[in-house]
A = this chain, B = another copy of it.
């Protein structure tokens, strides 16, 4: 077993489950009598020697339970991208010096696609420059777009919120006798996983959403109008990904709301639902409204998926065990075992970082506005169960640094 202490960081956009993974990391490190240092604001905390001794903060189960049900990133996040390196590089040297001063020999990075790039670089630098630190990535992203895993922690909770919110919005829309349309915009730039999960809103008493548009399929304006014309629901609910594109590959949303691109070179999108709303108003003259689920879909811990939180905690602990066994340059993942159970697995970070997993053809209905039964079977288990939330003065209690 590897000697030394642990460091852990959180990175990328917040989710409802990223603190559950942190909880798993902390518990497993403490169980092995190691110190566990939190890097504050992702890898920038390691660069600036900004660490928190998590064993001191989480010395009781009460705080750990609060952590598991607190949304967003307890340690803070960053969007910092480590520079490419050839020879020795000052930023990397500082990180490893700061690690060495605390006898940190194992580091876990909890994050999404972009964060795995950090794991990959740190690991490559350590190997090239003989630094005795092992690195593992623990996935999290509501987008579910990481390769090498059945699904990502954080996705199930976001999916549960999206499905529940749409089931409630559909009730709200259905109260008036007049024909209407409601367009709900769901996160997911290039991968329509979360938009696909809107299908889980359907029940024996509701067929909403009636149309589901993923970014994986080009959507011409004329097809959309035709789909709406053929939709027999009186109060149509339409789920659209923020990233839907027309037949020319142009985003419905305004490309470049502000600066056009974020630091990772992705387009910053906004407003696909608003665009669709306007198209419907122009063409049908019915009451139309758009709802952006916005950040609520990624931070609604008050209605998280217990399956998701438990798995997130488990995979955090698994990351610690994998490092203790001597692995490095890996990303933890899930393999699905039939009848719904998951088993943690190890992936090479080189096969994960900077790749993106979109919704497969077999999950998208031929009509282009729905998902298949196979998609529902895949998605459903991920949203099951509700955590017991500790309340204080009528709102969920959180923990903060």
Contacts and interface: CB of A to CB of B under 8 A. Distances in A.
Contacts of A79: 176
A393 interface: yes
Contacts of A174: 72, 76, 400
A205 B291 contact: no
Nearest to A385: B394
Contacts of A71: 168, 171-172
B72 A396 contact: no
B395 A164 contact: yes
B176 A295 contact: no
A396 to B, nearest CB: 6
Given A167-B395, A168-B302, A296-B165, A175 B73 contact: yes
A398 interface: yes
Contacts of A291: 292, 294-296
B172 A14 contact: yes
A298 interface: yes
B171 A299 contact: yes
A19 to B, nearest CB: 9
A339 interface: no
A248 to B, nearest CB: 28
Contact of A171 (B44, B201, B392, B398): B398
A384 interface: yes
A385 B393 CA distance: 9
A169 B295 contact: yes
Contact of A393 (B168, B171, B380, B398): B380
A386 B168 CA distance: 17
A41 interface: yes
Interface string A248-289: 000000000010000000000000000000000100000001
Q: How many copies does the complex hold?
A: 2
Interface in A226-261: 258
A78 B177 contact: yes
B44 A172 contact: no
A149 to B, nearest CB: 20
Contact of A70 (B72, B171, B301): B171
Contact of A175 (B14, B163, B168): B14
A337 interface: no
B77 A175 contact: yes
A151 interface: no
Nearest to A305: B394
Interface in A348-401: 380, 383-386, 391-400
Given A397-B203, A400-B206, A294 B295 contact: no
Interface in A71-107: 71-73, 76-79
Given A78-B176, A171-B14, A176-B79, A200 B73 contact: no
Pairs A-B, 9 closest by C-beta atoms: A383-B394, A72-B171, A205-B400, A77-B175, A172-B299, A168-B299, A73-B175, A384-B394, A164-B395
Given A76-B176, A163-B395, 9 more contacts: A78-B176, A163-B394, A168-B300, A171-B398, A200-B394, A205-B398, A205-B400, A291-B292, A380-B393
11 contacts: A163-B395, A164-B395, A172-B295, A172-B298, A174-B400, A203-B395, A205-B398, A289-B295, A291-B295, A296-B296, A305-B394
